[in-house]
Amino acid sequence: MDENLFFLLKELLTKNSIKVNNEELKLQLFGHPSYPSLHSLTGVLDHFNIPNLAIEIPKTEENIALLPDYFIAHIENNRGDNFALISKKADAIQITREGKKSELVSIDSFIDLWTGIVLVIETDENIKTDISSIFSKGLLVSIPVVLIICFLFLSQNPFESFHFVFSMIGLMICIFILQHEIGTSSQVLNKICTGVSDKVSCDDVMQSKGSNLFGFVKLSDLGIIYFLTSVLSSLLFVISKNNFTPLFLASLMALPFTIYSIYYQFQIVKKWCLLCLGVILVLWIQSALAIANINSISEIISEPNSYLLFAFAAYLTTALWLFIAPKIRLKPEYFKLKVQFNKFKRNFEIFNNLLSRSQAINTTITNCNEIVFGAKNSELEIVIITNPLCGFCKNAHKLIHIVLDQETEVKIIVRFNVSQNTKAIDNKIAAKLVEICHLNGEEICLTAMNEAYSSRDAATWLNKWGESENEYYSQILMEEKNWCTNNNIPFTPEILLNGKSYPKEYDFEELQYFLEDINEFEVSTQTELITD
């Protein structure tokens, strides 16, 4: 899967100091039905509520000066047309495109390449940074550092300390190898593995038959198991004050694998894997430390407790890794399935076909002053039929905020299906909400609705907001109830899009992906009717 467009979008966000979850960003981009078009970029930015504008403007130096310092532009050259990240310099333009390749050109040269189409974003203080993702990454990076500091504090032997440090380095290199194998490595690793010379190709080495031991155990798994065992047993040894002889012997026993790996890369594959060579270098350094620290044969056979601890560490890490590894390797496949699922679910033709199966009903209630949000004269009308005491209506209520946050003009009618008994709790809350909307406006009404649907304590809500004493609002609820009965809508929540029932195959929040398309479809339909 080509990640160039993902890289450009991620870099644009980074340049504007906007941080989002990279995995979610990738899923939303690759899963967009129109990927890799400009519409997919704007759709992803809309998903994260990042203000953006995609527009075609005249290709002049004056207009370039008005653009922000960083933006995505559509350019053309002898290799075809594509997107590029543009960085404005003092008297030049830096163009970054495939594979992080950058070039500095004059403004006139950029104008010749540029089609006039740009995508710009605005920084917004209301954009929420993914704190949990940043914290988890920071925690993950700090683990090796903390372990090394703890070990150096406990150990007085420099050979043991250096051996432990290189075990951590070897483990991290093996994790990078695993990331490259499953296709989740970074741009930096991709350059290390392919961009150095024609003789370097991690893919050729990792995908060869020699990368599997006995046909089913990958050497990357053995590397992770070895270094995990080394790290765990080192910690056990230093805590229990046992000697490191079993671990040093294991380092010497690993040397034949390094010879085999070098021979296989040089003679069979005829390509080098720099990450694999990094592991080999670590093993050689550890072997040198082992030779320098083993003083005699008697030391090798002494302290059987050390061998028991080493065997325990090897068994534990092997069992855990063989359990975890298949799940990690399946993660890219799960991601591909999620991308395909998103493309399918966000396909407007499928959604509209399901929507069209429903018979449209007349949603108008004559002379009924209901709660209405959004654009009152919009061609797109959403009727949310709800009940303040309905637990399932909470998700339907969230739809109001989702729709209002979109730039598409939409008329939202909140229609209550509550008990006709004016003393019933659901009737009291609904009547008060209608009254608040009429007397205090939409904003305060929405605040009151948020509290009503977020809390199950109706008594507390009524104590705060009070009860309506005006029978006019109870009459509105009665008309809404009669409309629901006449149109055979006994249950809540129910969503109607221009009179058609919202497809059950979709969650309510997924409507945000289709608002623009629905609006365009309705406008085009009305235009065709007028023309006919």
Residues 117 and 147 occupy one common structural domain: no
- Identify which of 150-159, 179-188, 459-468 has the greatest average pLDDT: 459-468
Question: Once rounded to an integer, what is the mean pLDDT over residues 118-137?
Answer: 63
326-380, pLDDT tens digit by residue?
A: 888 888 888 888 888 888 888 888 999 999 898 899 999 988 899 999 888 888 8
Residues 89 and 151 occupy one common structural domain: no
- Crossing angle of helices 442-454 and 393-405, in 10° steps, is 150
Residues 178 and 212 occupy one common structural domain: yes
Residues 307 and 388 occupy one common structural domain: no
The pLDDT score that the predictor gives to residue 202 is 78
Sign of the Cα pseudo-torsion (293, 298, 304, 307, in order)? positive
**What predicted TM-score, i.e. pTM, was given to this entire model?**
0.67
% of the chain surpassing 90 pLDDT: 28
Residue 279 has pLDDT above 60, yes or no: yes
Residues 407 and 490 occupy one common structural domain: yes
Residues 175 and 313 occupy one common structural domain: yes
Q: What is the CATH number of the domain that holds 516?
A: 3.40.30.10
Question: Once rounded to an integer, what is the mean pLDDT over residues 197-211?
Answer: 75
- For residue 192, the surrounding DSSP H or E stretch is helix 187-194
Residues 111 and 241 occupy one common structural domain: no
Q: Which two three-digit tokens encode residue 224? A: 């992770």
Number of structural domains the chain divides into = 3
Q: What is the CATH number of the domain that holds 241?
A: 1.20.1440.130
Query: Domain ends where: 319, 334, 349?
Result: 334
**Residue 234 exposed, middle or buried by CB count within 10 Å (0-12, 13-18, 19+):** buried
Residue 129 has pLDDT above 60, yes or no: no
In 44-107 the beta strands, taken as DSSP E runs, fall at 52-56, 70-77, 80-88, 92-96, 102-106
CA distance 109 to 84: 14
In a domain, 341, yes or no: no
Q: How far is C-alpha 255 from the chain's CA centre?
A: 41
In a domain, 39, yes or no: yes
Domain of residue 142 covers 138-334
Residue 68 has pLDDT above 50, yes or no: yes
Contact 11, 114 (CB under 8 A): no
In a domain, 339, yes or no: no
Residues 156 and 227 occupy one common structural domain: yes
- Crossing angle of helices 158-181 and 245-253, in 10° steps, is 50
Residues 191 and 243 occupy one common structural domain: yes
Residues 81 and 110 occupy one common structural domain: yes
Residues 158 and 89 occupy one common structural domain: no
